[in-house]
Chain A
Amino acid sequence: MTTAIAQDTITLTINGKTVTAASGKTILQVCRDSGIYVPTLCYDERLEAYGGCRLCLVEVKGQGRPLSSCTTPIREGMEVTTDSDRITRLRKTVLELLLSNHPNDCMLCEKAGACTLQELVYMYGVRYDNYYGEMWNLPKKDDNPFISYDPNKCVLCGRCVNICQNVVMKGTIDMTGRGFYSKPDTAFGKPLTPDICVFCGQCVSACPVGALTEKQARGKGRVGSVERVRTTCTYCGTGCNFYLNVNKGKIVKVTSDYAAPVNKGNLCVKGRFGYDFIQHPDRITKPLIRREGVTDTSPEVLKDPMAVFREAEWDEALDLVASKFMELKNKYGPDSVGGFSSSRCTNEENYLFAKWVRVALNTNNVDNCARV
């Protein structure tokens, strides 16, 4: 049953099943779109395919050699097999080789439970001791407040380097050295300092294993013991989404939401690491109302804020604000007041705010700092 096919679609078979997909896609993308599982370590939707890990190998009829599905564009009539004895054997060998230069200390690893290597090793049932020989014994790099790097766990997928060079465009790290001794690193192995790194943690988000981890989260709970809460970043108007990882009511870290429509898993330093204010003891959690009769608010006096302010309940505070606005509106007319909202608010919050200014205050004097 051949039907007319639009020029930009391609029909191929994957594991005997006919699939139609847009031309220009790779075998892996089509597999993912069609719900066919193909293992990967070095693939990251945010990046150009790397083709290094060799786990996504598939067989294509007519090709003697298995092809990496992440880099191979689909062609009309292609017959793809994603699983066969040969493919399984090659994937197992790749995993065994990776394990032969890996600490295999999952029990202590921050990434346990969220580690792609661990998951694949489990899935393919390989052991760590089939091959043995020299293993890396490199010092951990832990020279900054945010990012912890244990090169011994690195699987050389290149994602951290790729995202730093081509998405963040910072170029803090690159692949260094060659062959068995190549690894991601800074120039001349220097520590991560603000002059070379913006600490966006994009590298951490790209790392499929426990080589790059969030330093602040160390020992505070792994994937099994945390609850993930999807939320929107409050720092700017972009509206990036991410997951807050919460363990027993405490936020322990932020992880990427690759499905986020705005940021696709990318974050900056504020979104990724700037969450400590949320549960900071100094954070103001109750409304403060200025004490009656206090007029001097000089820095000297504000050294003791409670001498100027008193804590209040929300109802009291909101009543006070509402009454003051009404007072001004009644006295000087609606256009004497206005509202200016923060880009740290979400779209929904901004919408509500504008609605409130227009309906409750009866003025169009409303703006947002990110309006430019």
Chain B
Amino acid sequence: MTEKLDSIIADYRHNEGNLVSILQQLQDEFNYIPQEAVAYISHSLEIPISRFYGVATFYAQFHLKPRGKNIFTLCCGTACHVKGSEKLIERLQRETALTSTDSTTKDGLITIEKVACVGACSIAPVAIVNKKVHGKANINQLLRMVKAMREDESE
């Protein structure tokens, strides 16, 4: 891990980086922002760790807890909202026993997240499942995916 962190630090020094880009690189690497990694970088760069935490908690993109193996990102843009994204989220959460504050299943299999708008409004409602965009998403299709993920896992 320190090797990767050192390369992020080197990149920061080389490219007039900033805290946002450091955190983005951390999240790309670990899928979330591990506390120890932030502490290490804060120490090396002599930037107070509070500043990292302040930035990380400001932006919706950053996650301070590990996320699941499979990530459902439901778009909540206006077009998706009027096309029923709320219902999709509620149904998915019900299926996985998750809430908006508790977004990852205990077994770490599934994470359900909302995103403000992915700008694919004419194919609303949109669900992004493991980075693949699904337009005109419907609940049966999403529930089938959940089922497949569970089956994959139990095999």
Contact = CB atoms under 8 A, between A and B. Distances in A.
Direct contact of A and B (CB under 8 A): yes
Interface of A: 165, 170-178, 182, 185-188, 196
A84 to B, nearest CB: 35
A283 to B, nearest CB: 37
A174 B51 CA distance: 6
A306 B100 CA distance: 69
B57 interface: yes
A291 B58 CA distance: 68
Nearest to B55: A174
A171 B58 contact: no
A270 B125 CA distance: 60
B78 to A, nearest CB: 19
A239 to B, nearest CB: 29
Given A177-B58, A188-B35, A170 B48 contact: yes
Contacts of B49: 171, 187-188, 196
B38 to A, nearest CB: 8
Contacts of B50: 165, 171-174, 185-187, 196
A165 B48 CA distance: 9
Contacts of A165: 48, 50-51
Interface residues of B, number: 14
Contacts of B32: none
A99 to B, nearest CB: 26
The 8 lowest CB-CB distance pairs between A and B, nearest first, are A171-B48, A174-B54, A187-B53, A174-B50, A187-B49, A187-B50, A176-B57, A177-B57
A188 B48 contact: no
A221 B51 CA distance: 36
B57 A172 contact: no
Given A187-B53, A188-B35, A188-B53, A172 B58 contact: no
A11 B38 CA distance: 51
Interface in B41-63: 42, 47-54, 57-58
Nearest to A164: B50
* Most chain B CB neighbours (cut-off 10 Å) among A173, A176, A186, A187: A187
A266 B48 CA distance: 21
26 contacts: A165-B48, A165-B50, A171-B48, A171-B49, A171-B50, A172-B48, A172-B50, A174-B48, A174-B51, A174-B53, A174-B54, A175-B54, A175-B58, A176-B54, A176-B57, A177-B57, A178-B58, A182-B58, A185-B50, A186-B53, A187-B38, A187-B49, A187-B53, A188-B35, A188-B49, A188-B64
Nearest to A178: B58
Contacts of A176: 53-54, 57-58
Contacts of A186: 50, 53
Interface of B: 35, 38, 42, 47-54, 57-58, 64
Nearest to B59: A178
B51 A171 contact: yes
A178 B116 CA distance: 15
A182 B38 CA distance: 20
Contacts of B52: 187
Contacts of B38: 187
A269 B49 CA distance: 21
Contacts of B64: 188
B29 to A, nearest CB: 19
Nearest to B60: A178
Nearest to B54: A174
Residue of B48, B49, B64 ringed by the most chain A CB atoms within 10 A: B48
B49 to A, nearest CB: 4
A91 B51 CA distance: 31
Contacts of B48: 165, 170-172, 174, 187
A332 B47 CA distance: 58
B54 to A, nearest CB: 3
Contacts of A172: 48, 50
A177 B53 CA distance: 9
A33 B147 CA distance: 70
A338 B154 CA distance: 87
Residue of B38, B51, B53, B64 with most chain A CB atoms under a 10 A cut-off: B53
Contacts of A174: 48, 50-51, 53-54
B41 to A, nearest CB: 12
Contacts of B47: 171
Contacts of B42: 187
Given A171-B47, A172-B48, A178-B57, 19 more contacts: A165-B48, A165-B51, A171-B49, A171-B51, A173-B50, A174-B48, A174-B50, A177-B57, A177-B58, A185-B50, A185-B53, A187-B42, A187-B48, A187-B49, A187-B52, A187-B53, A188-B35, A188-B49, A188-B53
